Amino acid sequence: MEIIQEHGTIFMFLAIIFGLYMCWGIGANDVANAMGTSVGSGAITVKQAILIAAVFEFAGAFIAGGQVTKTIRKGIIDPAPIANNPELLVYGMLAALLAAAIWLMIASSKGWPVSTTHTIVGAIVGFAVVGIGPDAVKWQKISTVAASWIVSPIVGGGIAYMLMISIRKLILNTDNPFQSARKWGPLYVFMVGFITALVTLWKGLKHLKLDFSMAESFFISALIGLIVAYMGKRMIDKVKLDVEADREYHFASVEKVFMPMMVFTACAMAFAHGSNDVANGIGPLAAVVSIVQSGGEVAQKASLPVWILVLGGVGIVIGLATMGHKVMQTIGTKITELTPTRGYCATLASAVTVVLASKTGMPVSTTQIAVGAVMGVGFARGIGALDMRVIGGIFLSWLVTLPAGGLLAAAIFFIIKGIFGS
């Protein structure tokens, strides 16, 4: 207790710096991953992606990012054994934030799309093993995290594959693909509005105490889907047949029809992402602030001051703008060649998988879903359309994320403990 009272201001300062660094990492990797399909398909430019993320990620984090957050993310450790030594939890959370941020910076510089959730989970486990003891870690939870390495890509890829096949049958393989795209386009836009509204209602607004029933959620989502479909139809009607471009690439005009859908999808996914994953960065930060302000009380949940939410939103946007391009390049161009139709299928498949996961408790990672979905649309053209060397590198980065975060956090924990004592 004395250590916290003596060094409380320093701990708060370090938590803010490390938290901002972690949110920067989320922007550079996770958000870049979410925007990668839109940029890689050519539907929007990198500058437009940054602008969309700046508005919608920030809005998601600020409006629906949560008034209360779990301070020990995902309930993966039991802090009860150190209740009388709260400074150890402060050291651990600071170590976890810094370790996760460093790993995200390394991964982002290499262009690896890794899971920020897995990074912070690995870091917290690393601190818990050396700072509290292996028994404090809920290993059953860790096994569900590991399961997502397999579940996420398969489910996301399978849905993306089926969407791609439907577009091929309804549009691309018809006598007049352009007219078919104009005919079926509003239906696909409706699906974007409907699914992303469900994602937001079920996940993004849970902290706002807006508790809708299943039927209400479906009704509101369908209504939003119809509004978005109407707006999309107006935009699709403005797309004209480009005979010149079609000579060069047979489906050039069809791809132009899908561009408005990608803009809707990018905006909606940015909002949903901001409302959910900003907690990875600000959860441990909120834990430190809560412990210091309460004079040493360790709580499982803490209120989130507005300034912390703002900090998270700002960090995410700066991260995407400064280093997001490398991960966007990997997702959007290196795994397989994306076009607006393929990018649409991959992004919508990601959203559908998140909806399924949020209601079934299926362990998934949004990063791994997106990678799997991109692989799914590539696989629809045959295994030769996929760059297996790039995919192998991505899988390897997923495997080392947990231990890398853990080892870094353990080392930083000992350094902080050595400086401030216990």
pLDDT digits (tens, 9 = 90+) for 311-325: 887 888 899 889 888
Mean pLDDT to the nearest integer, 372-380: 92
pLDDT of residue 376: 94
Two tokens, residue 323? 């280093």
Contact indicator for 116, 26 with CB cutoff of 8 Å: yes
DSSP state of 382: -
pLDDT of residue 396: 92
| Measured distance CA(326)–CA(45) in Å, rounded | 14
pLDDT confidence tier of residue 187, bands split at 50, 70 and 90: very high
For residue 166, CA distances in Å to 20, 174, 344, 372, 377 come to 43, 12, 12, 18, 11
Would you report the helix, strand and coil content of the chain in percent, each value rounded to 5?
80, 0, 15
Mean pLDDT to the nearest integer, 233-250: 81
pLDDT tops 60 at residue 70: no
Find where tokens 């399924």 sit. Answer: 356
pLDDT confidence tier of residue 40, bands split at 50, 70 and 90: confident
pLDDT of residue 126: 92
Q: Residue 356's domain spans which residues?
A: 1-420
Mean pLDDT to the nearest integer, 121-144: 87
Mean pLDDT to the nearest integer, 151-164: 91
pLDDT of residue 363: 63
| Measured distance CA(70)–CA(72) in Å, rounded | 6
Two tokens, residue 81? 């054994």
pLDDT of residue 113: 92
For residue 143, CA distances in Å to 264, 273, 413, 420 come to 36, 24, 24, 34
pLDDT confidence tier of residue 294, bands split at 50, 70 and 90: confident
Which of 126-140, 242-256, 290-304, 386-400 shows the lowest per-residue confidence on average (mean pLDDT)? 290-304
**Number of domains forming the structure of the chain:** 1
Find where tokens 């690393």 sit. Answer: 126
pLDDT tops 50 at residue 67: no
Q: What mean pLDDT, rounded, does the chain reach?
A: 84
Buried b (16+ CB within 10 A) or exposed e, 305-338: eeebbebbbbbbbbbbbebbbbbbbbbbbbbbeb
| pTM given for the model | 0.85
pLDDT of residue 68: 44
pLDDT confidence tier of residue 71, bands split at 50, 70 and 90: very low
Which carries the bigger pLDDT value, residue 302 or residue 81?
Answer: 81
For residue 343, CA distances in Å to 170, 371, 393 come to 17, 12, 22
Which carries the bigger pLDDT value, residue 400 or residue 62?
Answer: 400
Following DSSP, what letter does each residue of 295-359 receive, concatenated?
TS---SEEE--HHHHHHHHHHHHHHHHHHHHHHHHIIIIISS---HHHHHHHHHHHHHHHHHHHH
Grouping H, G, I as helix, E, B as strand and the rest as coil, residue 43 is coil
